[in-house]
Amino acid sequence: DCGRAVAGRTAALGGDPGMGRAWSGLARVDWALGDGEAARSAGSKASELLERVNRKEHAWIELVQVWVQTSDGAVFRKKADEFIREFPDDRDGYFYAGLGAESLQKDCKAALSYYEKAYGLTSGYYPITRGEVECRIRLGQNPQANAALRRYLALPVVPEEGRQQAQRRLKELNEGH
């Protein structure tokens, strides 16, 4: 939920306004909320702090900057693939590559490939399943979307919020929505 994400990022920045990764996260959330100006501003602040972050955070901030500054799906996917090659065990790299393919390029087939890899790294993170489900529905693969939700709900441990969201979406899908 974007509102909680903004609140969390804002709280983190209150504790350390020099936290580049938090500014980068705020940029991505602002973009998702449709506030391009705020996204670019937060992204610029993150870029100003690049000398204070480690290599992985540096690469991540650069990746998010491509999204919020250009919204160019092809450029973003190339940058995401570079991030993944350098940090192949990072769930967020695959997840955001999937989001980019889905949102910026409208390419759900490519997004599914990234989502599957992200799920393999962290199966209990509901946004990955949500991305997979929405892409499968767009591709007319409702039985596979249903199966993805059931797979998630069958996990032995999932956050309660994720469980509730998955149950709600499964009900909607079964009712034809």
Q: What is the pLDDT of residues 36-90, one digit of tens each?
A: 888 889 888 988 989 989 999 999 999 999 999 898 999 999 999 999 999 999 9
Burial class (CB in 10 A: 0-12, 13-18, 19+), 105: middle
Band of the pLDDT at 14, cuts 50, 70, 90? low
Q: How is residue 53 annotated by DSSP?
A: S
Measured from the Cβ of residue 174, the count of other Cβ atoms closer than 10 Å reads: 11
CA 144 to chain centre: 21
pTM, to two decimals: 0.86
User: Most distant CA pair in the chain: distance in Å?
Assistant: 51
Percent of the chain with pLDDT over 70: 91
pLDDT tens digits, one per residue of 78-92: 999 999 999 999 999
